[in-house]
Structure 1
Amino acid sequence: MERRLFLGSVAGAFLTTACGGGDDGGEPVNPAEPELPVDPDPFRQSTKLAMRRAARYMDESVSSSGAYVWSYLAANRNKCWGEMEATPTMVWMQPTGTPSVGHALIDAYHATKDETFYKAAERTALVMVEAQHASGGWNYIHDLAGEPALKRWYETVGANGWRLEEFQHYYGNATFDDATTAVSAQFMLRMYLEKKDPRFKAALDKAIAFVLDAQFKSGVVAGGWPQRFPRAYNATKAMPAPNWPPTGPGWEQLVAGNQNGDYIVQGPGGVPGQPGYTGIFSGMEDGDYTNFVTFNDDVMGENIKFLMLASFGLGDMSLKAPAVAAMDCMYNIMYEYDGDTTKASNPNATATPQAGWGLQHLSADTVDAYGVLRKAGLPAAARSYEPRGLSPSVSITNATQLFHYFRLTGDRKYLSKLGKVFDWIDTCALRNNQRSRTAERPDGDPESILTGTHARVVELESNRPRFPHRYGTNIHNGAYFIDHDWRRTPGHYGASQNASTAGPRATLARMQALSNAEIAAMVASSPLNVQGERALPTYFTVNGEVDFPHLWANAVKGTAARSQEQTQTLIDSLGEKSHWSEPQSTFTNAYTQDGPSTPYLGKEYMSTHVGDQFDTSPFGSNQMPAKEPYVSSPPVAEQVINSSTFVGNLGNLVSFIAPVATVNDPAYKA
């Protein structure tokens, strides 16, 4: 059925609809198949027919009226998943869900001119219009059965996903996290520009207004974005910590005054009389993180990119000023500590200077969990396993963004502090004995699972790494805590990451060596200087996503080379079944009831991806705890249909039948 038939009464229409929008024996969604333009090359024509078969199957037999999650059991599409297990009526807006499939369909339409792809993309766009929050953004998920059904999911499956704290509470607003709103808004922009359909213009206007309304308007954070918007004043400000702290054999490091890693600490909750010191802590150090300026998952870069795409896609030059304001926010908010210990608030401060960014920064003056007033702009904690501090990896990402901002504007200020950032990162690399033992690191700690060069988070002023841990078996009898011990960190969260400064230092040197004339030529071709309307890149999902270099005046985003042999292999794998499938690699425990609150002092769950059988977090087949009290049998891998595989394979076929040559703007300085 066409999507418009459902807009008035969704709940009733979808109560009997599976995650798949149809079944192999039912009536097709679009019975009148558009005529396929004839290609004189028989193999190219067969490739286009294969693409059509795959797209029709996804649209008619997998989607829920154009909506997608991440993966489906091929044999029973009522069993489906986004980042967590989904219900049959869910729309998953996080990439690689609904908007990612929509982008791939439009890419295929551009390559084939086959209306089949546009009609499927149109259904996807219409369900996204329905899923759009009243404020103009999108939440991670939407439920076609209505808000009560979505709330029930949050109260059951979401609430018991131990490590997925963003799904444990229903906020009723929209999010920038994981590019959820940015990728959805990009797709709505493309759908409107394709045929100037007013239905999509209204949704696009709301999305643009959302991005602009959500920007902070004043102070050091002006131009930045929060993780979620509008602000939810009922947001979680503190995580529960049942049975904290665990005591007894094996937990001596949590007793005041005992050894914790390399450091003597003063016990749970910080040091009495020395507010701000965070030796061992369980909870959320800075409260509700959803309103902080967010750098995690490149929120800033994704939103700036969308504003620029919209500016020359629509010819709306007014969108450039908010983009520049966001660039200035990233520059202005950078944290600096000059090494003067007499001015430090941390009693363990060292004389080592620091410069960089955290995953998030305070958007307003905030009283933290220690009772200390902290100023807007300072690095902040987020989820309970994301402590306050600087992140070397995020700082490398932000430095890369500032390189882009320099290229866009020609303003040398964006480069002016990056040398300090790279100097700091080189001071805080993990020691060999803090990382996991390998042939290259025979002195590595056998209890460490850290493989990256740096801790994800480094403490302010002391320059010491901070590591997340957890105790218990599920969210009802356990929690996360933070200390300085590198051993037994959670397997689901990279407590270490790579943060090499060699490449960024070389880029900085090249940027600093540019002459004024070279900078002027580069800026003249910048998308900030494009006047009026301009065509968007032809493809958004083929050969990687659209990025800043593709937006320069004389640049063309191209496709990767694909041979006839590679294309035939993809067509063969599609087979008679008309869909691509693969063995399941991610599993979940079905929600049955809340887990037990009985204290558990074992350590079997400290480094696992999942807790006991009541934890609804996803995990791989080799990521289950090996010991009791986990009582479930190892999962059996079945065949699944993954949205990401469809997107990737369709893009590979596009690359073969309608390749586009890459063109790098000569004025763009790589």
Structure 2
Amino acid sequence: MARATRFMTDKVAVKGGYVWSYLSDFSRRWGEMEAYPTMIWTQAPGTPEVGQIFLDAYRATGDAQYYAAAEQVASALIAGQHPAGGWNYIIDFAGEASLKRWYETIGANGWRLEEFQHYYGNATFDDHATIECGRFLLRLHLEKGDPKSRAAVDRCVDFVLNSQYPNGGWPQRWPRMGEFSKQGRPDYTGFITLNDEVAQENIDFLLLVLQQLKDERVREPLMRAMSLMVDLQQPKPTPGWAMQYTMDLKPATGRTYEPASITPHGTAAAVGQMLDYYQLTGEDKYLARVGEAIDWIASVEIPAEKRGADGRNFYRDYEPGTGQLLTGHRSGSNSQNGRFWSAYAKDDATPAKSINVAALRARYQRVAAMSPEQATKDSALLGRGPSLLPPYVVSHVGGSDLNVTVYDDKKTAAVAELVASLNAEGYWPVELRTTSHPYAGPGPAQPPAGFVDPGQVGDSWDTSPFTLPRGPMGISTGAYINNMARLIAYLRTQKA
């Protein structure tokens, strides 16, 4: 663990921060897209998640090396914090001109990654970027009372509160700093956003702040946000939730391949939130229409004979009000000549999501049978129950507390094999099958002659990531996090 961590801090880190993967000679590196050598990433498995595993290692060993490494992560994140208090996906230590150049080149040519095709100059809740940074810095502050981290957390809380709309919702990006129109659609980043758990993560973060910092100013905003979730459920015959909404609470479009739609997976997630909020508040309004939502989900489950080989049992998008299935299409070959659109599905829809409807209904029935007093016995909102911040954030197996996880001989042998697989340089080599075309300038206005769309990426001018059958060996931030988590888990069981 110490050798692997020294390699990460001494050889991999850029001013204390990380991207997702690196070729072994560091000639190329990637976050969600290819990154400059001066960049770090806030999206998982990026910089804040590395900071969390450092704190897990410190908690397990008491070794100051890990706390110092976590402090370096905090310094990187604080240096890249937007003046408004949030974070962008990317921090570029070469400065704003370099970041703008990246957006104008690599970002602009990622055909299916439209969120990177325009430089807004603001911060985002998308992909948990802001909240993961805030959550790590809060944990670091609580570990030893670090004042720099506390100041950054306070700015992050200000960002969450200041960006919230009066009705309780949040935009995807804030503050508003210019708009970006694609194929004539309005800029979606100001819509009320549920996609990628924006509202859920913000509510959970404010609840954590309320419990851990006793900051009462967050109570009313988080209750307002929970109440909005009730209002966002649509009427029959599609009584579910969308990914984003206009200010009059109507489903809205997102990126050009994201139609205004009701989604089964988003509805299942919202149902889980409704049950959580009943257990926080004891208020019946959170249960009132959950049964409708679950019945609708069950009504659109794909029959077993039509599912894919991976068992996915739901399509993605249904038209609000009619319930007709929508499916996405694209034509062209790159971000210059390509376009996405949605149409009513015939036989061309692909199963996209998996939902355990029986488990969802069983939880609803269990929670609905509780009295308000029973439901709220562990409500953090009411000052009850255990801490929302576990002692180990990353180092868990199957969600269970590792202090009661038994390591048998087979598992112990696997740990020994993991230790032995750390190479002489100090990292675990991983086959990097995800890659991208290097930036080669703007793509042609017409698809190249003979171009056949492979589905995941376009032509050689498309800088979107794609997966190869085989790839070179390299360095993976995610592998470091996962392997450290396994070793920390083993240490914990040995101490127990």
Q: TM-score, normalised by structure 1?
A: 0.70
- Paired residue for 2:434, among 563, 586, 589? 586
Structure 2 match to 1:360 = 244
- Paired residue for 1:230, among 167, 175, 200? 175
- Paired residue for 2:323, among 443, 463, 474? 463
Q: 1:654-665 counterparts in 2 under 5 A?
A: 654-659=488-493
CA distance in 1 between counterparts of 2:292 and 2:385 reads 39
Asked if 2 retains the 8 angstrom alpha-carbon contact of 1:561 and 1:655, the reply is no
Kindly tell me the number of residue pairs found equivalent between the two proteins. Answer: 493
Asked if 2 retains the 8 angstrom alpha-carbon contact of 1:539 and 1:557, the reply is no
Q: CA deviation at 1:658?
A: 2.1
Over 3 Å counting, the alpha-carbon distance change for 1:458 and 1:326 in structure 2 is same
Letter in 2 for 1:392: P
CA distance in 2 between counterparts of 1:536 and 1:238 reads 40
- Paired residue for 1:639, among 453, 465, 473? 473
Over 3 Å counting, the alpha-carbon distance change for 1:495 and 1:236 in structure 2 is farther
**Structure 2 residue 18 is matched with structure 1 residue 68:** yes
Farther off after superposition, 175-184 or 529-538: 529-538
- Paired residue for 2:414, among 538, 547, 566? 566
CA distance in 1 between counterparts of 2:305 and 2:413 reads 48
- Paired residue for 1:401, among 256, 268, 273? 273
Structure 2 match to 1:25 = none
Over 3 Å counting, the alpha-carbon distance change for 1:541 and 1:117 in structure 2 is same
Q: CA deviation at 1:560?
A: 4.8
CA distance in 1 between counterparts of 2:319 and 2:385 reads 47
- Paired residue for 2:215, among 301, 312, 316? 316
Structure 2, gaps ≥5 residues long = none
Cα displacement string for residues 595-622 of structure 1 (whole angstroms, at most 9, x for unaligned residues): 11025797821x5100000000000114
Q: CA deviation at 1:69?
A: 0.2
Structure 2 match to 1:609 = 456
Q: Percent identity?
A: 38
Asked if 2 retains the 8 angstrom alpha-carbon contact of 1:543 and 1:559, the reply is no
Q: CA deviation at 1:120?
A: 0.8
Letter in 1 for 2:182: A
Asked if 2 retains the 8 angstrom alpha-carbon contact of 1:452 and 1:497, the reply is yes
Which structure: greater helix fraction? 2
Q: 1:363-382 counterparts in 2 under 5 A?
A: 364=247, 376-382=248-254
Over 3 Å counting, the alpha-carbon distance change for 1:81 and 1:323 in structure 2 is same
Greater relative contact order structure (CA < 8 Å, 6+ sep)? 2
Cα displacement string for residues 439-489 of structure 1 (whole angstroms, at most 9, x for unaligned residues): xxxxxxxxxxx9633321101222111111101111112211111235566
Structure 1, gaps ≥5 residues long = 1-50, 240-282, 338-352, 365-375, 439-449, 551-555, 623-635, 663-670
Letter in 2 for 1:134: P
Cα displacement string for residues 243-298 of structure 1 (whole angstroms, at most 9, x for unaligned residues): xxxxxxxxxxxxxxxxxxxxxxxxxxxxxxxxxxxxxxxx63xx111011111111
Structure 2 match to 1:523 = 376
SS of 2:455 mapped into structure 1: coil
- Paired residue for 2:100, among 151, 155, 164? 151
**Structure 2 residue 1 is matched with structure 1 residue 56:** no
CA distance in 2 between counterparts of 1:111 and 1:420 reads 46
Q: CA deviation at 1:122?
A: 0.5
Q: CA deviation at 1:521?
A: 4.0
Who wins on radius of gyration, i.e. which is larger? 1
SS of 1:336 mapped into structure 2: coil
Over 3 Å counting, the alpha-carbon distance change for 1:482 and 1:602 in structure 2 is farther
Q: 1:403-442 counterparts in 2 under 5 A?
A: 403-430=275-302
Computed over aligned residues only, the root mean square deviation of the Cα atoms, in angstroms, reads 2.6
Over 3 Å counting, the alpha-carbon distance change for 1:531 and 1:455 in structure 2 is closer
Structure 2 match to 1:652 = 486
Structure 1 match to 2:444 = 596
Cα displacement string for residues 618-670 of structure 1 (whole angstroms, at most 9, x for unaligned residues): 00114xxxxxxxxxxxxx621111111111111111111124999xxxxxxxx
CA distance in 1 between counterparts of 2:3 and 2:140 reads 22
Asked if 2 retains the 8 angstrom alpha-carbon contact of 1:469 and 1:482, the reply is yes
CA distance in 1 between counterparts of 2:122 and 2:78 reads 15
SS of 1:426 mapped into structure 2: helix
Structure 1 match to 2:143 = 194
Asked if 1 retains the 8 angstrom alpha-carbon contact of 2:378 and 2:384, the reply is no
Letter in 2 for 1:574: L
Letter in 2 for 1:540: V
Structure 1 match to 2:133 = 184
